[in-house]
Amino acid sequence: MIERLDHVVLTVTNIEASLQFYTEVLGMKEITFGNDRKALAFGDQKINLHEYKREFEPKAARPTPGSADWCFLTNLDPDSLQTHLTAHGIAIEEGPVTRTGALGPICSIYIRDPDMNLLELSTYKND
């Protein structure tokens, strides 16, 4: 019945800091919609941003910055990704390590965003 994921909502402490991180470090595109709401676009998906304690209704029962744990696919190989992250001053929490994605084995590097959400940046293994 469910076909695909369209968008998710990320509750953040500071929308501008999140926009800067996700656009500059991860290459997402900032978009504005509705009544000056902000979102991040990548591929065919988007992440709507809600500022903590100023969320749009309806919202999650307990919106909390730092509670997300996501895996994003990247077009960079692990070595290039590590170089890119280091150039932006981003600490690597773990990796590269082998994990299992939705379609098989992936190579992942774990980092944190400004709200300490865990981000797994991955590429599918070709072997």
Burial class (CB in 10 A: 0-12, 13-18, 19+), 104: exposed
Q: Distance between CA atoms of 47 and 4, rounded to whole angstroms?
A: 14
Q: What is the token pair recorded at 58?
A: 């309806």
What was the pLDDT predicted at 90? 98
Q: Name the active-site residue from 3, 24, 30, 120.
A: 120
Active site residue 51: no
Q: What is the pLDDT of residue 71?
A: 97
Give per-residue pLDDT as tens, 55-73. 999 999 999 999 999 999 9
Tell me: the pLDDT tens digits for 86-121?
999 999 999 999 999 999 999 999 999 999 999 999
Element of type H or E holding 46: strand 45-51
Q: Average per-residue pLDDT in the chain?
A: 96
Q: Are 121 and 81 in contact (CB under 8 A)?
A: yes
What does pTM read for this prediction? 0.94
Q: What is the pLDDT of residue 125?
A: 86
Domains of the chain: 7-124 (3.10.180.10)
Q: How many CB atoms neighbour CB 29 within 10 A?
A: 11
